[in-house]
Amino acid sequence: MIAEKPSTGSWLKAKRELAYLLSHNTYPTNKDEDFRYTDLSFLHDEKFIKLTSKASLQAFWNEQEIKSKSIDSCTISNLLETDSAEIIESNRDFVVSRNTLNFELGYHIRLNKNNNEDWQVLKLKHSSEQGETFFRHLIEAETGSKVIVVEEFQAENQALINSITEFKLSQGAQIFYIRRQEQKPESIHLGGVFATLAENADFGSVLLQSGGKLSRITGEFSIDGKQANCSLKGLATMDKTRHSDFTVSVRHMASNTTSSQTFHNLADDNSSVAFTGLVHVCEGISGIEADQMNRSLLASHDAIAYSRPQLDILSDDVKCSHGSTTGRPDDDAIFYMRSRGITEKIARELQKAAFIKAVIQIPHAGLQKEITDSILHDNFQKDAEILLEML
């Protein structure tokens, strides 16, 4: 069931025409290579898309809600009201085409040169009470910008969020991106993160999936300028019968560029986690360093992990590595902790907490503590304070 195409300006009309053709009555299943771990055919008659959407979107700059179009070094406007904008083509992904067709909430944001050396913080808060909601953001980081962008998503059980965020980093721009879901158990989250990096640009991220019965994030990052760097980290914590899917690709299109991917997946009960990662190095470039690692921790015998790390190297002058590990909690480490007076329950939780904390590395002390504490409280509840003291 696809909603009628909303009215748009001329710049978006052609893109929505294509999106309509690509997503109309077509739903990917696990027979499609890009969705082999996440079947979306349920969308054909799922309850979420039959409900009227109730959603809200707020923006904050250094903890102050943005009330005008410009504040300090940030300019923000409604993406639909922008005269023109270059957004990615709908044929990149089913979720993207569905979003392009339907989005009505979203910002076009320009981040200008900071007035000081400190990180500035832009926070976007999304919420959905019911139905299928579409968010879309285009964020352009100009030379000299140095901004942490935080996206937070909250959804009730009768909600499906589809959210796409695009970054364009100019020469020397620095962006650190945090994406976090705090959704109710029966909600669904589908989304994508896309970024292009010019010369000397630096893009870092922490992608966090938890809550909701299904979460799938696609990330595509193109390193187009020399001396640019892209460092990606991700974490999924799943329990019960929940499912998460990270599908990430980094493309080196210029010489002397670096990238890293570190994704941790924790699965408990009957849950499942999936990671598909790609490093592509195009022909004719040199001086490339890239690494990719996916680690999965199965906290129960019924949990499932899928992993597909991949390298596509068309150049000789590279230092590239990739790997994957899947295992259960270390019984020897648990025995060691128990021999020193730690209960078995806390010992097992401590091992999981350390696995979680290892990828939450944020260049802002306040956000580092806030997000780490919150995730540990969400996953370990009454034992969180004990674990925080011991880590």
81 & 210 share domain: yes
Q: How far apart are CA 137 and CA 162, in angstroms?
A: 12
Q: Provide Rg for the chain, Cα atoms.
A: 21
Which DSSP state fits 36? T
Least confident residue range of 258-262, 265-269, 343-347, 362-366:
343-347
pLDDT at 4: 42
Tokens of 356: 């979680």
Tokens of 212: 């909701």
Considering the domain boundaries, does residue 4 fall inside one?
no
Contact assessment for residue 275 and residue 244, using Cβ atoms and an 8 Å cutoff: no
Considering the domain boundaries, does residue 346 fall inside one?
yes
Tokens 């410009």 correspond to what residue?
Answer: 70
Residue 1 pLDDT level (bands cut at 50, 70, 90): very low
Which residues have CB under 8 Å from 56's CB, separation 6+?
Answer: 126, 127
pLDDT at 9: 63
Which of 297, 328, 359 finishes a domain? 328
20 & 164 share domain: yes
249 & 380 share domain: no
Q: Amino acid identity of 111? A: L
Least confident residue range of 239-253, 335-349, 373-387:
373-387
Tens digits of residue pLDDT in 131-140: 899 999 999 9
The percent of the chain in helix, strand and coil, each rounded to the nearest 5, is: 25, 45, 30
Residue 340 pLDDT level (bands cut at 50, 70, 90): confident
Residue of 31, 35, 32, 29 whose CA lies nearest to 306: 35
* Mean pLDDT score of the chain: 91
Contact assessment for residue 100 and residue 19, using Cβ atoms and an 8 Å cutoff: yes
Nearest-10 Cα torsion for 220, 225, 226, 227: -60
Which residues have CB under 8 Å from 369's CB, separation 6+?
Answer: none
Split into its structural domains, the chain has a count of 2
95 & 191 share domain: yes
Q: How far apart are CA 168 and CA 138, in angstroms?
A: 8
172 & 235 share domain: yes
pLDDT at 3 > cutoff 70: no
The model carries a pTM of: 0.94
Tokens of 280: 């592509």
25 & 172 share domain: yes
Q: Give the structural domain span for 348.
A: 330-391
Q: Any bridge partners for residue 276, and if so which?
A: 247, 308
Considering the domain boundaries, does residue 2 fall inside one?
no
Tens digits of residue pLDDT in 24-63: 667 888 888 889 999 998 887 777 777 788 899 999 999 9
Tens digits of residue pLDDT in 52-109: 888 999 999 999 999 888 888 899 999 988 877 788 877 778 899 999 989 999 999 9
Considering the domain boundaries, does residue 5 fall inside one?
no
Phi/psi at 377 (5° precision): -65, -40
Nearest-10 Cα torsion for 352, 356, 357, 363: 180
Residue of 164, 134, 163, 131 whose CA lies nearest to 54: 131
Residue of 264, 253, 192 whose CA lies nearest to 226: 253
Tens digits of residue pLDDT in 234-273: 999 999 999 999 999 999 999 999 999 999 999 999 999 9
Nearest-10 Cα torsion for 203, 209, 215, 221: 10
pLDDT at 331 > cutoff 80: yes
196 & 300 share domain: yes
* Selection from 8-17, 69-78, 90-99, 215-224 with the highest mean pLDDT: 215-224
